[in-house]
Amino acid sequence: MRPRIELGEVTVHNIRQLKRLNTVVFPVSYNDKFYKDVLQAGELARLAYYNDVVVGGVCCRIDTTEGQRRLYIMTLGCLAPYRRCGIGTVMLKHVLNYVEKDGNFDALYLHVQINNDSAIAFYQKFGFNIVETKTSYYKRIEPADAHVLQKNLVKGGSKGSKAVVG
């Protein structure tokens, strides 16, 4: 029997679980403002459940810098024992569906530590590419450099992006 993987909303009642998750999964810590914004993010923030246990989470925001309307993935991750079970895929597909339905995004992008090979490979599978490398992006961890992974979209249609059937 396959395990059940589901996504759930982030609410004021369970936000602490998201905090706990991020603290364990990511080497970077996020401040209270981050979580305050997450509560307003609606569909852009989701918890991932594996057999009814919270094991992953994704938080995005809409970014309008550099003259473009892009979706920025702030955090996307899951607990170590649950990796390579398809959870990351479910979360990323949710995000990709969101931008396709919206139809008005130029691209999606995120930052990845240059030594995070598994993450880079994961996003490349979905059509993301390394477009830039920022030195000393991170303040308190080593290596401090980060790749920018981006996936460009064609506005108003699904041409150019991978078929995103949930």
CA dist 93 and 23 (Å) reads 23
Q: Which is nearer to other proteins, 12 or 121 (CB)?
A: 12
Cβ at position 36, least distance to other proteins in Å: 16
Q: Which is nearer to other proteins, 15 or 130 (CB)?
A: 15
- Fill in the DSSP letter of residue 106: S
Of 72, 98, 123, 147, the active-site residue reads 72
Is residue 147 annotated as a catalytic residue, yes or no? no
Is residue 72 annotated as a catalytic residue, yes or no? yes
Which residue is associated with the tokens 């980060």?
A: 146
Interface ranges with other proteins (CB under 8 A) = 1, 3, 11-14, 16-17, 20-21, 24, 50-55, 79, 81-82, 85
List the catalytic residues: 72, 111
